[in-house]
Structure 1
Amino acid sequence: MVDAGRSHSADTTSSPASEPIVRVTEFRKTYGRTIAVDGIDLEISRGEIYGLIGPDGAGKSSLMKAIAGVLTYDSGTLEVFGTQVDSEQSAETIKDRIGLMPQGLGLNLYADLTIEENVDFFGQIRLVPKEILEQRKKRLLEMTRLDKFRDRAMKNLSGGMKQKLGLVCCLIHHPQLVVLDEPTTGVDPVSRRDFWSILAQLLREEQITALVSTAYMDEATRFHHAALLFDGKVLARGEPDEIAALVPGRIVQAKAEPQAESLGILKQTFPQSEAVGPWLRVFVDDADDEQAKQAVTSRIEKFSPHEMHVAEPDLEDVFIALLRRRGLTDNDDVQTASSTSNTNARHADGLAIEANELVREFGSFRAVDRVNFRVEQGEIFGLLGANGAGKTTVIKMLTGLLPPTAGTGRVAGAEMRRAGQAIKERIGYMSQAFSLYQDLSVVENIRLYAGIYGLSRRRARERTEWIIDMAGLSGRENSLSGSLPMGVRQRLAIGCALVHRPQVLFLDEPTSGVDPIGRRRLWDIIFDLSRNEGVAILVTTHYMSEAEHCDHIAMMYAGRVFADASPSELKASLRNESGQLLEVTTDNPLAALEVLESEGFPGVSLFGKRIHFLASDPAVAEQRVRDALKQSNIEVLSVLEQPLTMEDVFVNRVLALEKADARANGETQ
């Protein structure tokens, strides 16, 4: 097990030799017979961002609440600021130096209070003097760009704004340690990046220490140190790069046709194989570049694999590989659907969904503004956008749940306005907020949906068996759906939406809150439905890495579609417009970030101990970086080009639109 929690770069702590701010030894917490945390050890040093990563039920929240002094524990020792926290009395002595933000959008806030009233309330209960409260409130609201909305009620905020307000309330009393439990879950990519920029600025200017948990594996690069948790235990810990090095191997990406058949063959030898858009993505254990290429090629040689690339595995690959190697993955692997094509009727032009100039107004507010897109039968189509962009409203119009103010649409061959019942019979819909009855069992939920869609007993029995196999629910048929892990519950929800074999499936954020293993299994199902069953799938997601799975993407902003292309086309467009992504590694990243910001480098952001930004001329930008940091006595360890991601595309395009809107309204950014 990597244990790199003792040494830090000069940027991460004001006193490298100082005692850890948090020390946990043999920590154990149980709830009745359930062991939530089992013998965990970890240390958090002053001035760093320490990450806890793991699936639901790994023990993250229990450990964080105990560190914040709001949860008792069974055994072990817990020291915070040098104080042993082992009683309510000792916990009270440290709480004034801690800020806690619990899991869930706005759960530490009051819905009917405005932004300013929430901040004032938290300042008062923390006994912040009025003059200091006003100064601190002004600074934090400006930093989070909430100052223009101080009179807006919390219940009317977007998810990203709620999380930023939660952070402000958590920070209003100037804590030394902030404990943030999944602060970016359910938040759009722009707000996520905004959130991390704010945290980096506080780290630099106020030398706070942060303990952060996340469901997004890609965020691990932003941590100085991290612990991977599973089933209440530490699976690995250290710097992200050190954890990644625990599992030697390579990722091979290639194209081969037929893709579904190629994937099935690869999975027999390489369990960590998946389809990502047109690509096959394979983790090859214990191999160098050439060995990995040869291993994949030899398995699918008859399909003429081409455009083959080899790369280092990311932390999500490593996490899953660690579980697999240690036999910690469960046995509920999903089954592929029938390889025969869906017998449902297809209309002649091959179009499954067509939106033409769709408009939806709520009073004077236009939520959807002349939206156009087309989805082919058997295509995975991604509808991406920030919170409040209009995605869910578009889905509700297309599924007949909400009449459009203007425009037309066709779904599964039926005209949207005039064929509501026909559309309902031909589509499946898994909503963001509600899909299952949690007090019904797995089988009872399936039977309920079968009854709603009018299936005969024989057909309902056949589809129930198919769903149980497809979702990996064998042995759990009589379990209450509310008792299932999130990933398993979402697979059941997809199954219920498919009980009547629809031609088109709408999935509204199906993987929100699902752990990495659960997300991959859900995408296995989605891919199989698309390729083998010919189902057209429209999916919304906040995980930009998942956007890579889509064949086609429409991006929305303020009710409008501003981009409509494949992931590769969108990344190529950003590269042509704004340049290549550069990654700068230095011996003092916080200071380097400040220097590069002052030098006018656009969009610089901190990713753990590295800095990212886009450069139209990478060679010129590298020289500028080296010159600027040399003048500040900061050593540059490397400047490397990195591949663009869909998050880079989304964030840069949306920020450009926000700036254009601000200029049009005469505002300054």
Structure 2
Amino acid sequence: MNAVNTDKPLDAQVADSARPVVDVNNLMKRYGDSIAMDGISLQVQAGEIYGLIGPDGAGKSSLLKVVAGVLAHDAGDLRVFDCLIDSEKSSELVKDRIGLMPQGLGQNLYGDLSVEENIDYFGGLRLLSKQELSSRKEALLRSTRLDKFRDRPMKNLSGGMKQKLGLVCTLIHEPKLVILDEPTTGVDPVSRREFWSILARLLKEKGITALVSTAYMDEASRFHRVSLMHAGKVLASGDPEQIKALAVGTIVSTTCVQMAQQVDAVKLLSQHFPQMEVLGQEMRMFVDQADPVVATKELMQCLDGIPQQHSEVLEPELEDVFIALLRQKHLDNADQKKARQPAEVSASQRHPDQGLAIEAENLSRTFGAFKAVDQVSFRVPQGEIFGLLGANGAGKSTVIKMLTGILSQTSGKGNVAGADVRTSGRQIRERIGYMSQAFSLYLDLSVLENIRLYAGIYGLTRKETAARMDWILDMAGLRPFGKALTGSLPMGLRQRLALGCALIHRPQVLFLDEPTSGVDPIGRRAFWDVLFQLSREENVTILVTTHYMSEAEHCDHIALMYAGRVVADASPEKLKENVEAEAGKLVEIQTPDPQAALDLLQADGYTSAALFGPRIHVLLLDPEADSAKISEMLKPLGTLKIAPKKLSMEDVFVHIVTRLEAQDAQNVQAKGGRP
């Protein structure tokens, strides 16, 4: 079926184009006793990128599968291209105009086939002629910069390259609607940003509409309109700015003059502001007050005279608004949060300061000819939250495995909790807690059974086990779920249970490898509340890896890894200062034609320019002069607005890694193309 019926009169074709590409009304879907979609309604207009944003279990994937025609709904009405989808037969009428990219890295691809063979296979499935396939393939390979890797097997591609190849295979038949299910989950920030840039360009060139799901709240700016989803329902729909206005409130950020008083300040503030988070030395509160002056005054009164070094008012991000909406609708598991009230920590429970808790000195690890970790060095004082960041394959997990004694180093030294990692394996295991990327508990055991199992592994007495079990149940908010099977828990509670089991023997050092992957925003914040308490009150040293760049803000110190090496080592604030000194201040540009503006900026040498939905972010070395130049350059496109934007850790990560990739490319070129 053709995308446009050219036999229709012109006015009928115009009327068709004005109708929604996807029209969802009160859709319902059950899996047994579980409700996946509970009366979902939304409309996707032609030419827009529409985002479904929410945690795992919100109903995003079920909705996408129903729209794609691969899953039947139980009730409600669905129209795609104005065709009522109420049977398998009706869904077949529109499938040739739809491209579906399922969730998971390379899930729609074949590992043993090369890049080109995968594309040819999908072109054959779509019955493209040799000429159509050849011309489209070459254009898409150039757009995604995969043309140099056409002979590489899919299984040997990086995560970002797999997703770009998946996008090519999804677009090869030039669908009018492309459906992407969490296309950037597990992909590093540089690849994520490139993926969105490529997608926006291809959609505009081909006039394609996109329906996209994501668990990353910060990706909302990539979409023209979004629906926030939770527990099978739509909480709110509209453009990101409209949604931000739904929750009235102000973000107030403050920092104590003396860091020793931060714990007391947090306790005072948490009694009055249920929505707060600690980001390193900074405390950030969502105050249910629109007036920033009144909001700041209200916060300062709660601090009871604790002097503050720096305070500022910030615009709420979409994640802040999402959590505020859940809280206002009483959907934020308030009862569970009340149950999580850890007991006061006594002086005897606090680990003593003994200098460095973790020390890596020129750590290296090779696998055959491949060097996974190359001369890595860093130091972590007792009680610090230390972040190890990097793209997939950067070497983060390998470093953790060497420091925990799971993997031996090829060369270099490691010292953890006062013990040499090469010779004191048993001592280290007694002094550390470790939470791996893969969920490490037994799903068919209850919460209490898992805790008892770990207590036995670490040799705790019956009395010690009982005491620690009480602590874990309170710390993780698990007291109401003690007899529940672990497999029945939401991901956030499972992760807090895994954290509790890793802490059952009171370790001095805690290693966490991607601990919040797949956890919803409320669960992630609750998890970090626990880490803050462990660090500040019990003086536990925490080394954590994460793909959520917003979580890097929680760390006191960060080491950024690239190709097995540490390429930056500083606090988040210092890293941001370094990037601003090197590349300039971040600004946001609003223009009627953002894609055309982006092309003009990049052609004029503004290589940091990146598309964020209808806006552009770019670093400017001389903001005043560059803004004037950009205003003149983009004047033909219409009304322009340029405003300063606060630098994020994602901006830092992307800038550093992009610069290093460019240097590597120059080195390869200088060697005549040999890596």
TM-score category, normalised to shorter length: over 0.9
Distance of aligned partners of 1:389 and 1:15 in 2 relative to their CA distance in 1, 3 Å threshold: farther
| Equivalent of residue 447 in structure 1, options 440, 448, 452 | 452
Distance of aligned partners of 1:594 and 1:454 in 2 relative to their CA distance in 1, 3 Å threshold: same
Do the aligned partners of 2:352 and 2:539 also contact (CA within 8 Å) in 1? no
Q: Determine the C-alpha separation between the residues in 1 that align with 2:575 and 2:272.
A: 33
- Does structure 1 residue 606 correspond to structure 2 residue 621? no
Q: CA deviation at 1:72?
A: 0.3
Alignment partner, residue 635 of structure 1: 639
**Letter of the 1:647 counterpart:** E
Q: CA deviation at 1:17?
A: 7.0
Alignment partner, residue 24 of structure 2: 24
Distance of aligned partners of 1:655 and 1:618 in 2 relative to their CA distance in 1, 3 Å threshold: same
Distance of aligned partners of 1:456 and 1:112 in 2 relative to their CA distance in 1, 3 Å threshold: farther
- Does structure 1 residue 306 correspond to structure 2 residue 309? yes
- Does structure 1 residue 280 correspond to structure 2 residue 286? no
- Does structure 1 residue 109 correspond to structure 2 residue 109? yes
Do the aligned partners of 2:439 and 2:498 also contact (CA within 8 Å) in 1? no
Q: 109-118 or 439-448, which moves further after superposition?
A: 109-118
The TM-score with structure 1 as length reference comes to 0.95
Q: Determine the C-alpha separation between the residues in 2 that align with 1:128 and 1:491.
A: 50
Alignment partner, residue 134 of structure 2: 134
- Does structure 1 residue 404 correspond to structure 2 residue 409? yes
Deviations 1:537-578 (A, max 9, x none): 000011111101000000000000000000000000000000
- Count of aligned pairs: 653
Do the aligned partners of 1:186 and 1:513 also contact (CA within 8 Å) in 2? no
Alignment partner, residue 98 of structure 1: 98
Q: CA deviation at 1:458?
A: 1.7
Alignment partner, residue 262 of structure 1: 265
Distance of aligned partners of 1:282 and 1:426 in 2 relative to their CA distance in 1, 3 Å threshold: same
Do the aligned partners of 2:353 and 2:382 also contact (CA within 8 Å) in 1? no
Q: Which runs of 5+ in 1 are unaligned?
A: 1-13
| Equivalent of residue 531 in structure 1, options 536, 541, 548 | 536
Deviations 1:557-611 (A, max 9, x none): 0000000000000000000000000110112223322332333322211112111
Alignment partner, residue 462 of structure 1: 467
Alignment partner, residue 647 of structure 2: 644
The TM-score with structure 2 as length reference comes to 0.94
**Letter of the 1:100 counterpart:** L
| Equivalent of residue 591 in structure 1, options 569, 591, 596 | 596
Q: CA deviation at 1:136?
A: 2.1
Q: Determine the C-alpha separation between the residues in 1 that align with 2:547 and 2:661.
A: 19
Do the aligned partners of 1:342 and 1:535 also contact (CA within 8 Å) in 2? no
How does 1:184-223 map onto structure 2 within 5 Å? 184-223=184-223
Q: Determine the C-alpha separation between the residues in 1 that align with 2:608 and 2:445.
A: 49
- Does structure 1 residue 355 correspond to structure 2 residue 351? no
Q: What secondary structure sits across from 1:56 in the alignment?
A: coil
- Does structure 1 residue 37 correspond to structure 2 residue 37? yes
Alignment partner, residue 11 of structure 2: none
Alignment partner, residue 6 of structure 2: none
Do the aligned partners of 1:337 and 1:533 also contact (CA within 8 Å) in 2? no
Do the aligned partners of 2:236 and 2:243 also contact (CA within 8 Å) in 1? yes
Q: CA deviation at 1:155?
A: 2.7
Q: Determine the C-alpha separation between the residues in 2 that align with 1:117 and 1:489.
A: 41
Deviations 1:63-111 (A, max 9, x none): 1111111110011111111111111111111111111111222222223
Distance of aligned partners of 1:438 and 1:115 in 2 relative to their CA distance in 1, 3 Å threshold: farther
Q: Determine the C-alpha separation between the residues in 2 that align with 1:144 and 1:422.
A: 49
Q: Cα RMSD between the aligned structures?
A: 1.8
**Letter of the 1:119 counterpart:** I
Distance of aligned partners of 1:187 and 1:398 in 2 relative to their CA distance in 1, 3 Å threshold: same
- Does structure 1 residue 438 correspond to structure 2 residue 438? no
Do the aligned partners of 2:48 and 2:210 also contact (CA within 8 Å) in 1? yes
- Does structure 1 residue 491 correspond to structure 2 residue 507? no
**Letter of the 2:599 counterpart:** E
**Letter of the 1:653 counterpart:** I
Do the aligned partners of 2:253 and 2:285 also contact (CA within 8 Å) in 1? yes
Q: Determine the C-alpha separation between the residues in 2 that align with 1:602 and 1:48.
A: 25
Do the aligned partners of 2:68 and 2:100 also contact (CA within 8 Å) in 1? yes
**Letter of the 2:476 counterpart:** A
Q: Determine the C-alpha separation between the residues in 2 that align with 1:300 and 1:453.
A: 41
Do the aligned partners of 2:351 and 2:538 also contact (CA within 8 Å) in 1? no
Distance of aligned partners of 1:108 and 1:67 in 2 relative to their CA distance in 1, 3 Å threshold: same
Q: What secondary structure sits across from 2:18 in the alignment?
A: coil
Q: What secondary structure sits across from 2:558 in the alignment?
A: strand
Q: What secondary structure sits across from 1:128 in the alignment?
A: coil
Deviations 1:382-429 (A, max 9, x none): 000001000000000000011000000100110110001111111111
Q: Determine the C-alpha separation between the residues in 2 that align with 1:143 and 1:87.
A: 37
Do the aligned partners of 2:350 and 2:539 also contact (CA within 8 Å) in 1? no
Q: CA deviation at 1:162?
A: 2.1
**Letter of the 1:110 counterpart:** Y
Q: 458-467 or 395-404, which moves further after superposition?
A: 458-467
Do the aligned partners of 2:350 and 2:538 also contact (CA within 8 Å) in 1? no
Alignment partner, residue 423 of structure 1: 428
How does 1:16-95 map onto structure 2 within 5 Å? 18-95=18-95
Deviations 1:247-267 (A, max 9, x none): 111101101241122111111
Q: Determine the C-alpha separation between the residues in 2 that align with 1:123 and 1:159.
A: 22
Q: Which runs of 5+ in 2 are unaligned?
A: 1-13
Alignment partner, residue 322 of structure 1: 325
Do the aligned partners of 1:586 and 1:635 also contact (CA within 8 Å) in 2? yes
**Letter of the 2:667 counterpart:** A
Moved segments of 4+, more than 6 Å:
14-17
Distance of aligned partners of 1:17 and 1:295 in 2 relative to their CA distance in 1, 3 Å threshold: farther
